[in-house]
Amino acid sequence: MKTYDLIIIGDGPAGLSAADQAAAMGITFLIIDENPLPGGRIFTQSGLKQSDNIFNTAQKKRLFKKFSSFTRSLKSQTSVIGVFPDNILLLTSGEGTTKVRYKSLIVACGASETGIPFPGWTLPGVMTSGCTQTLLKTQGIFPKKAVLAGTGPLQLILADQLIKRGGKVLALVETGSLPTWLKASTALLGQWKLLKEMGACSLTLARHRVPVYFNSLVSSAHGEKSLQEIKISSLKGSLKKTIKTDSLCIGYGFVPSYEITCSAGAKQTLINDKWGPVRGQDMQTSVEGLFAVGDGAEINGAVMAEYEGAVAAIGTTRFLGKICESEAKKRLSLLYQKIKKEEKLRKQFNQLMKLPGKVFELASDDTVICRCEDITLRDLKTAAKDANSDINELKRLSRVGMGLCRGRTCGTAVGEILSKLTGSPLEKIGFFTPRPPFRPVTIGQLAKNDFKDN
Amino acid sequence: MTFERAEKGIERGDPFTITIDGKEVVAYSGETIAGAMLAAGKMTLGHSGQKKSPRGVYCGIGVCYSCLVTIDHLPSQRACQTPAKGGMAIESEKKTEQSHENI
């Protein structure tokens, strides 16, 4: 079995930045990712040539500039399906399954969208905002007419991008209030670039007369075989508007992918109501030599992810004993200053991304909560009576979260629902314990392995 | 048609033909099966394992497994993670089929 000084999981902004910094300090490493091309979700690449470059930011260019120097260390289309004692990772790709060992590990595996169940959310035509943006970015394919609903400024940006590509936004539905938005914008004074961007997006909306509903959410979606109509309600529950549409993009923020750090033994904690690893200032988790960075640890966006990746790479070099303490401290203090500045900005962002409790009360008894196993709220209510306020007990009793997505889609909502049903805090409810394989694999992929040689 | 291919500011890859439920449609290099199916007006890609309710593309990033289709006779493949290639035969998963419920 091959042993690496460092393995980096994920090639988004956090992973690329870590790789760049590690390479600069002479550390040899392996970087792996599930996707065919590096960049992560935010800087997803494709063969599509886009003359106006609306998705090409300065940060993307910066991250890719040094990428060519370590392309040979990148193993793409490879998933981590298990973490085992003695620092062993099980990796699966189309070629089969292999075991590798690491001395230190940087987990930069990103986040996925928070699944918020409401009546009709499983209908074809209801998709996440991230889905719509990915289709638009990588393939130039987009819904002709769509309603955008959710929490936070990302909806605003997506609306702008859709309109620029020729789409029509029928309505923008936002759980936050206008005063909260204005307050956050005032706090962003000085962040001219960001304010300018948000201002430009708002102007696009105004110019195209997109109706904006504050303090509101899409409370239900209707249709027989696919989406036909949605209902917009106020947070208090009164119906505001019914709109005929075949596309609904919902964006309620993101959930860190905790399965790898958790399986490796890192202590988890609740940060802004989402589970993620406890980390020190140098991004090290409760397990020595195991670092967690970017949105896979705590939702703080791509800029913070880049800083954190660099910090973790220095932390790793220090852990491996390949840098002297004073040099590490010098490099880190520069990065800590940048992180501190970014934290102020994120505070405002996170204020706008805060989900109102109401979003977890939309489901009716017949609403499917776990999309994979078709488990309804009624099923959860029945199982909750014997689940002792423990999400894993609820899982065993009802099969919730046991499907192909491994509970990554419904996990946050199930925790919130169980908390409401039992009156227990999220800390007590806990999170779905990740079990290998973290991704569905075929017997063929497992059978084609190098275990005998190890 | 619900979804369309943007024309403004975009240069597409080479076109080729794939079949979706027996019907020939044009797709372009760089597209996923999910993209090609949506652009062809196909919203319902499959049905859920237990209740057999319709499912389509939901997360688009390979997490949710809502977009499972049969590609060249191989069932339960994620449409959003599979690049489209010329000559591929894609079948949406029907209500009656016993597909991923048995995995």
Q: At what angle do helices A178-187 and A325-352 cross, to 10 degrees?
A: 150
Nearest CA in chain B to A251: B59
**Confidence band for A54, pLDDT divided at 50, 70 and 90:** low
A124:B5 CB<8 A: no
DSSP-derived 3-state class of residue B73? coil
Q: What percent of chain A has pLDDT over 70?
A: 98
pLDDT in tens, A244-288: 999 999 999 999 999 999 999 999 999 999 999 999 999 999 999
Domain ranges of chain A: 2-113+255-323, 126-252, 363-429
Residues for chain B: how many in total?
A: 103
Residue B100 pLDDT > 60? no
Per CATH, the homologous superfamily of domain A126-252 is FAD/NAD(P)-binding domain (3.50.50.60)
Asked whether the beta carbons of A433 and A265 are under 8 A apart, the reply is no
Residues 6+ apart with CB under 8 A from B43: A124, A125, A225, A226, A227, A246, B2, B56
ipTM of the complex: 0.94
> Residue A368 to residues A268, A423, A434, B64: CA-CA distances in angstroms?
28, 22, 22, 14
B4:A54 CB<8 A: no
Q: Which CATH number fits domain A363-429: 1.20.910.10, 1.10.760.10, 1.10.10.1100, 1.25.60.10?
A: 1.10.10.1100
pTM of the prediction? 0.95
Q: Which chain B residues are within 8 Å of A134, Cβ to Cβ?
A: 60-61
Nearest CA in chain B to A139: B31
Q: Which CATH number fits domain A2-113+255-323: 3.30.1490.20, 3.50.50.60, 2.60.120.620, 3.10.20.30?
A: 3.50.50.60
Query: Average pLDDT of A190-219?
Result: 92
CATH class of the domain at B15-92: alpha beta
- Three-state SS letters, A23-54: HHCCCCEEEECCCCCCCCCCCCCCCCEECCCC
Nearest to A29 by CA among A71, A60, A63: A71
Q: Which chain A residues are within 8 Å of B2, Cβ to Cβ?
A: 125, 143-144, 246-247
Domains A2-113+255-323 and A126-252 share a fold: yes
Nearest CA in chain A to B10: A50
Query: Average pLDDT of B43-56?
Result: 94
Please give the angle made by the CA atoms of A239, A240 and A244, to the nearest 5 degrees.
Answer: 100
Radius of gyration of chain A, Cα coordinates, nearest whole angstrom: 22
Nearest CA in chain A to B65: A405
Distance from CA of A405 to the nearest CA of B (A): 5
Residue B1 pLDDT > 90? no
A409:B63 CB<8 A: yes
pLDDT at B8: 75
**Confidence band for B96, pLDDT divided at 50, 70 and 90:** low
Query: Average pLDDT of B89-93?
Result: 94
Residue A157 has φ and ψ, to the nearest 5°, of -65, -45
Q: What are the percentages of helix, strand and coil residues in chain B, rounded to 5?
A: 15, 35, 50
A144:B34 CB<8 A: no
> Is the C-alpha dihedral spanning B93, B98, B100, B101 positive or negative?
positive
A141:B5 CB<8 A: yes
Asked whether the beta carbons of A370 and A288 are under 8 A apart, the reply is no
A128:B7 CB<8 A: no
* CA A92 – CA A95 distance, rounded (Å): 8
**Confidence band for A349, pLDDT divided at 50, 70 and 90:** confident
A41:B61 CB<8 A: yes
Q: Where are the alpha helices (DSSP H) in A243-386?
A: 259-263, 301-319, 325-352, 377-384
Interface check for B59 against chain A (CB to CB < 8 A): the answer is yes
> Is the C-alpha dihedral spanning A378, A380, A383, A384 positive or negative?
negative
Distance from CA of A110 to the nearest CA of B (A): 12
pLDDT in tens, A67-93: 777 888 999 999 999 999 999 999 999
Nearest to A38 by CA among A55, A14, A7: A14
Residue B103 pLDDT > 50? no
Interface check for B37 against chain A (CB to CB < 8 A): the answer is no
A266 or A344, greater pLDDT: A266
Q: Which chain B residues are within 8 Å of A36, Cβ to Cβ?
A: 83
**Confidence band for B102, pLDDT divided at 50, 70 and 90:** very low
Interface check for B49 against chain A (CB to CB < 8 A): the answer is yes
Q: Which residues are paired to A248 by β-bridges?
A: A126, A147
Interface check for B57 against chain A (CB to CB < 8 A): the answer is yes
Residue A80 has φ and ψ, to the nearest 5°, of -85, 120
B56:A405 CB<8 A: no
B63:A46 CB<8 A: no
